[in-house]
Amino acid sequence: MTAKEIRVLYYIIYKTGGTPEIKRRLRAAIKPQEPDRKIFYRKDENDCFYEFFLFPADVRTIEAAREFFDEFVRREYVPTYYDCTGQWFTSYAKFYDFGAEGIACLHRIDCDC
């Protein structure tokens, strides 16, 4: 659901004096869903941390995991003229195939601090 569609729905509810039940259903429909993955964090002594997580069950190959990672997880560094911007970015990601258990990723995130 796009932001424009959500604004239109809220406008309709506002104009029609929508009931609390309609409002609850709308909130439930547009509320971000929790990702279907478990994440374990480990902070390093430097300004970085590691996360280890399983991909959703529909990600079945390493190639699909790389695509999913690039689209939803990877943190990109945006170059600036300044140093110590506080940006978090992906240093590396290593993928593991555990067969029936699924595919996992070890992801290192650094900070430009």
Element holding 41 (H helix, E strand): strand 39-43
Q: What residue segments make up the domains of the chain, in order of their start?
A: 1-32, 39-111
Q: Categorize the per-residue pLDDT at 3 as very low, low, confident or very high, splitting at 50, 70 and 90.
A: low
Residues 6 or more apart whose CB falls under 8 angstroms from that of 59 comprise: 65, 68, 102, 103
In this predicted structure, the answer to whether residue 95 has a pLDDT above a threshold of 60 is yes
More confident residue, 111 or 46: 111
More confident residue, 36 or 97: 97
Taking the model in full, what pTM does it have? 0.59
User: For the chain, what percent of residues have pLDDT higher than 70?
Assistant: 83
In this predicted structure, the answer to whether residue 36 has a pLDDT above a threshold of 80 is no
Residue length, the chain?
113
In this predicted structure, the answer to whether residue 68 has a pLDDT above a threshold of 60 is yes
User: For the chain, what percent of residues have pLDDT higher than 90?
Assistant: 19
More confident residue, 4 or 85: 85
